[in-house]
């Protein structure tokens, strides 16, 4: 029987259904791209569920969110999408809630902090898929050459160690990627380590809080202004900072688990510690999760739910996390990984996940604020930068977006 594939899934008179999934690519080369993972998973699922086919298209992170947006706008929403944001679709009533899709055991197994981050107006629509936390990475060889005996615990330690590294000729003592690629992440890490954040405990934007202003003034004066970042942060992207660390040209930087594999492949002897704060370790680290969601348009709630229960089985969650250097999004898979010595270097990241703080992805205004942060924060710490002014501008944009959006 031939099935016609359409953007919103298809079904035939016999009851056979084809689910359409659009997913993001986590691979760093064609050989380990996510298409391989999904194709293998889909075939295994189809063997157990003969009436359901799964058709998966994988796109780069540069394109995937826009691809889904275009399909939805054209009235051809996929049945499932694994992308970066869910709130706007939830707000417009386009998504099934998680409890309408997953069996109770599957939904209850999500790490609580991740499940909560997937809620829009207290209902879970975003199902976490792939997570990470952040730690400070340091190059042990460069530290030893500079006479630094232990990794930094406070901001003063960072500035002191960066000076020693600079004196030894290290190209980038502290890499500060505030270029357009992932500025919103580096910004949030520094906000948290300074006792601030994008929002307060009730979800109201606090971008220009005294804590955040103090943090970015410190970066401007104590790191960038003293030449300890080695390059203009506004022009440094995360990808290039990670590559610099793998090439042995960076003394320290904030990073996520993917950097471990990259550094190890180049033979870099590195260590990681919790993010330093003003007077000790930071109050929290940043957590990042990407999201799986199911669109209502195709009407395949039952079939999509069956597939998602399969996707989130322990074996499959562990495989995906292991293949791509990410943290499992379920409690049971996290416990299995913590008990496995093979993942020792991931344990520090994993232990931080339950208390990590996430982007305010449950706010429909967040994509605009993220875009604004990317455009403005790099220049804020430059020679002519004005951290207070820039943070106030972004706060005003956020307040206006909230007033007209949610």
Could you give the dihedral angle defined by the CA atoms of residues 78, 79, 81 and 85, in that order, rounded to the nearest 10 degrees? 90
- Residue 97's beta-bridge partner residues? none
Domain membership of residue 368 as a residue range: 135-284+363-404
Same domain, 271 and 307: no
Domain count for the chain, please give it: 2
Dump the DSSP string for 379-392: HHTSTT--HHHHHH
Burial of 149 (0-12, 13-18, 19+ CB in 10 A): exposed
Q: For residue 367, give the CATH number of its domain.
A: 3.40.190.10
pLDDT recorded at residue 62: 80
- pLDDT by position in tens, the chain (length 406): 333 333 344 433 345 999 999 999 998 777 788 999 999 999 999 999 999 999 999 999 889 999 999 999 999 999 999 998 899 999 999 999 999 999 999 999 999 999 999 999 999 999 999 999 999 999 999 999 999 999 999 999 999 999 999 999 999 999 999 998 889 999 999 999 999 999 998 899 999 999 999 999 999 999 999 999 999 999 999 999 999 999 999 999 999 998 998 999 999 999 999 999 999 999 899 999 999 999 999 999 999 999 999 999 999 999 999 888 899 999 999 999 999 998 898 999 999 998 999 999 889 999 899 999 999 999 999 999 999 999 999 999 999 998 876 5
Task: Verify that 162 and 209 share a domain, yes or no.
Answer: yes
Half-sphere exposure of residue 270: CA atoms within 13 angstroms, side-chain side = 30
**In sequence order, which ranges of 248-325 are alpha helices (DSSP H)?**
258-265, 301-311, 314-324
The answer to whether residues 269 and 223 belong to one domain is yes
- Has residue 45 been placed in a domain? yes
Residue 110 falls inside a structural domain: yes
Do residues 82 and 105 share a domain? yes
Residues 268, 388 within the same domain: yes
Angle at 287 between CA 367 and CA 274, to 5 degrees: 140
Are 207 and 300 within one domain? no
> Residue 2: inside a domain, yes or no?
no
* Alpha carbon distance 60, 78 (integer Å): 17
Structural domain contains residue 336: yes
């Amino acid at each position: 029987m031939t099935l016609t594939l359409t953007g919103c899934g298809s079904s035939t008179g016999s009851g056979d259904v084809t689910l359409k999934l659009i997913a993001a690519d986590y691979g760093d080369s064609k050989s380990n791209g996510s298409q391989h993972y999904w194709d293998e998973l889909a075939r295994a699922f189809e063997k157990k569920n003969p009436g359901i086919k799964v058709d998966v298209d994988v796109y780069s992170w540069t394109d995937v969110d826009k691809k889904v947006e275009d399909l939805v706008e054209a009235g051809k929403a996929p049945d499932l999408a694994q992308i970066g944001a869910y709130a706007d679709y939830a707000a417009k009533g386009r998504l099934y809630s998680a409890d309408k899709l997953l069996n109770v055991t599957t939904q209850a197994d999500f790490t609580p902090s991740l499940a909560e981050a997937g809620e829009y107006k207290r209902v879970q629509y975003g199902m976490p898929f792939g997570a990470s936390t952040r730690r400070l990475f340091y190059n042990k060889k460069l530290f030893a050459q500079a006479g630094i005996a232990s990794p930094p615990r406070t901001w003063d330690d960072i500035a002191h160690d960066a000076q020693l590294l600079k004196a030894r000729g290290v190209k980038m003592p502290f890499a500060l990627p505030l270029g357009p690629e992932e500025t919103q992440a580096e910004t949030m890490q520094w906000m948290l380590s300074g006792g601030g954040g994008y929002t307060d405990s009730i979800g109201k934007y606090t971008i220009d809080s005294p804590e955040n202003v103090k943090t970015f003034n410190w970066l401007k004066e104590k790191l960038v202004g003293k030449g300890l970042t080695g390059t203009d942060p506004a022009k440094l992207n995360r990808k290039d900072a990670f590559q610099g660390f793998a090439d042995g040209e960076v003394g320290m930087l904030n990073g996520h688990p993917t950097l471990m594999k990259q550094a190890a492949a180049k033979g870099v002897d590195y260590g990681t510690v919790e993010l330093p704060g003003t007077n000790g370790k930071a109050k929290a680290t940043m957590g990042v999760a990407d999201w799986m969601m199911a669109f209502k348009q195709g009407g395949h709630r039952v079939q999509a739910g069956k597939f998602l229960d399969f996707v989130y089985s322990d074996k499959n969650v562990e495989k995906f996390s292991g293949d791509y250097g990410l943290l499992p999004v379920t409690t049971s898979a996290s416990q299995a990984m913590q008990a496995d010595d093979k993942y020792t270097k991931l344990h520090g990241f994993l232990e931080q996940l339950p208390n990590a703080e996430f982007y305010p992805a449950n706010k429909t205004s967040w994509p605009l604020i993220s875009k604004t942060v990317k455009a403005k924060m790099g220049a804020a710490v430059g020679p002519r930068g004005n951290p207070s002014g820039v943070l106030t501008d972004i706060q005003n944009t956020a307040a206006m977006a909230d007033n007209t959006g949610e």
